[in-house]
Structure 1
Amino acid sequence: MKIACLEHLLPGDRLQDKWEFALRAGYDAIELRGRGGYGFRQRLPELRRAVRDGVVLPMVSVDMRHFLGAFDRELRRDALDQVKSQLSVMADIGGRGVVTPASRGMFSLQLPPFRPPRSAEGDREVLVEGLTELGRHAEKEGVRLFLEPLNRYEDHMVNRLDRAAELVRWVGAAGLCMGGLGVAVDTFHLNIEEDDPAAALRAAGRLVGHVLVADSNGFQPGAGHLEWPSVLGALSGVGYDGFLTVKCRLRGDEVAAVASVPAFLRSR
């Protein structure tokens, strides 16, 4: 079992310092955060130095104010261009790819006014167009783009694994992009949206290319009631061999909490 941790959860100022702590705690990699304003591209010299020093950096999670599913055309264009830049940076440092949701905090059908300014058909058209462009760029760079479903309060377009898998499969089947796309799973959102998390993972199968882990309450694994043996068993059953990246809030002493996760997951 390979376990990674998002960089901001690890103590230390430099990636090399964070890596020393990560290794002592039992982590195998550090996952990066891709800020907006092309901030991730500006970190390229730092990232290259870290890789030369032995830091394992397989993935980046997009952390911007707008995403590929934005309502505004100019914001969508900016999001696509920035994610393409992040895909290129990951290719440069030998990483695996980029994780992004369709949107975050843009609209929820659970909150007023309850009716989005774009139809479901319009949502699909925008997502297919964006995923096609990003998937083609990822293929060209030799990395992958992973679409992450979020819960119903954070996004109205892609909440469940079957929705993300359907979009990825459709783009691939249409010949628009063959190998540049996959699905990312976040166990916090999985717990909220899926009737049977393990069954949802089995249905998505080999499309699951990256996994982010938090417990049922959003805190570190072990702080909630998620059925970890069931979830991890399902991932093993579909042949998932990627990283489990810790992406959560921390309860209790933060350093002790983040240090506790690898042993907890490996004991399940």
Structure 2
Amino acid sequence: MKIGTQNQPFFPEDIKEKFRYLKNAGFEGFEIDGKLLVDHLDEVKEAIAETGLPVTTACGGYNGWIGDFIEERRLNGLEDIKEILTALQQAGGKGIVVPAAWGMFTYRLPPMVSPRSQAGDWKAVSESLVYLDSIAKETETTIFLEPLNRYQDHMINTLADARRYIEENTLRNVKIIADFYHMNIEEDNLSQALHQNRDLIGHIHVADNHRYQPGSGSIDFRKLFDQLKSDGYDGYLVFECRIRGNDPEAEYLKALKHLQQCLV
């Protein structure tokens, strides 16, 4: 397994300097914003060639969720994702992280009545995934379907939820991304959930139980990494977290060392 990261405010803004910084810090991959990749593809490819640091995946950078309530926005999002997947193919990236939606609706807060039926949710997300499955096949990439916790999305909350979409729609180029923060809220047993879905897990996001940097909370990363190892996972572990502490850069690099030690 290798450790990657999303962007942070204290990383250099210049793309090539950013890649050099990440390489020197000890990260082994970069999960890039999709729009940044599309808009600066040539510069990103040059940075990859210079540093040897790969773009692992894209996350974000498109307008419209795959389960959007507004059909025009859903379709616009799909076309944005198609463009990102094409750029990822050129940059050597594995694929793109997509949830059903983020912050669009939750049953846990008022009004608690969705403007669309559960059958409608299933239809919208399934149609999006079937389309993206075909685009991923063409671009030799993967769609990483991300379950979010119940307060951020109402459609896909557990790894089992994501698995159902993949299996019932016979998707060949869609895998599950397991996010430890969301799993900590939704799964009864994190290790068991990882094991039960080992055949479909293709990507990992790491944060501690409170969404801050790994090692600052209560998640037992060594236990989860050992589970992933025993199940044969050899992909990336990508930081997706906020940072708590007076010196964000120092705390972030400390968290990197913590995860490196947990992998030993």
Normalised TM-score (structure 2)? 0.94
For 1:6, give the aligned amino acid: Q
Q: Among 221, 224, 235, which residue is 1:242 paired with?
A: 235
- What is the CA deviation profile of residues 139-182 of structure 1, one whole-angstrom value per residue up to 9, with x for unaligned ones? 1111101000101010000011100111112222xxxx42x110
Structure 2 residue matching 1:8: 3-state secondary structure: coil
1:11-32 Cα deviation digits (max 9, x unpaired): 2122322222222322111110
- Alignment partner, residue 133 of structure 1: 131
Give 1:66's match in structure 2, choosing from 52, 64, 67: 64
Structure 2 residue corresponding to 1:162, chosen from 157, 160, 163: 160
Pairwise CA RMSD of aligned residues? 1.5
| Residue 256 (structure 1) aligned to one of 221, 236, 250 | 250
- From 214, 219, 235, the counterpart of 2:212: 219
The one-letter code matched in structure 2 to 1:108 is T
One-letter code of the match for 1:265? L
Tell me, yes or no, if the aligned pair for 1:25 and 1:260 is still in contact at 8 Å.
no
Mapping 1:99-118, distance limit 5 Å: 99-118=97-116
Tell me if structure 1 keeps the 8 A contact 2:19–2:48.
Answer: no
For structure 2, list consecutive stretches of 5 or more residues without a partner in the other structure.
none
SS of the residue corresponding to residue 205 of structure 1 reads coil
Determine whether 1:22 maps to 2:16.
Answer: no
Identity rate of aligned residues, in percent?
A: 33
Find the counterpart in structure 1 of residue 39 from structure 2.
42
Residue aligned with 2:156, SS: coil
Using the alignment, how far apart are the partners of 1:131 and 1:264 within structure 2?
36
Aligned to 1:187: 180
The farther-off stretch of 228-237 and 95-104 is 228-237
Instruction: Give the match for residue 265 of structure 1.
Output: 259
d(CA) in 1 for partners of 2:215, 2:7? 20
Contact 1:206 1:239 in 2 (8 A): no
Match of residue 11 from structure 1: 11
Q: What residue in structure 2 maps to residue 80 of structure 1?
A: 78
**Displacement, 1:65?**
5.3
Number of residue equivalences: 260
- In the alignment, the residues of structure 2 paired with residue 14 and residue 21 of structure 1 have an alpha-carbon distance, to the nearest angstrom, of 10
SS of the counterpart of 2:34?
strand
Alpha carbons 1:66, 1:104 under 8 Å: kept: no
The TM-score with structure 1 as length reference comes to: 0.92
Return the alpha-carbon distance in structure 1 between the equivalents of residues 41 and 96 of structure 2.
15
Give the 3 Å change call, closer, same or farther, for CA 245–222 of structure 1 in structure 2: same
3-state SS of paired residue (1:267): helix
Structure 2 match to 1:196? 189
Mapped to 1, the partners of 2:257 and 2:240 lie a distance apart of 16
Matched, 1:51 2:48: yes
- Contact residue 178 and residue 201 of structure 2 kept, 8 A: yes
Alignment check: 8 A CA contact 1:28 1:56 kept: yes
Question: Quick one: distance in 1 between partners of 2:235 and 2:206?
Answer: 13
Q: Which residue of 2 aligns with 1:119?
A: 117
Report if the CA contact (8 A) 1:3-1:28 is conserved. yes
Letter in 1 for 2:45: R
CA distance change for structure 1 residues 34 and 164 in 2, over 3 Å: closer, same or farther? Answer: same
Distance in 2 between the 1:219 and 1:28 partners? 20
Given the superposition, is the C-alpha separation of residues 160 and 232 from structure 1 closer, same or farther in structure 2, using an over 3 Å criterion?
same
Aligned equivalents of 2:9, 2:57: Cα separation in 1: 15
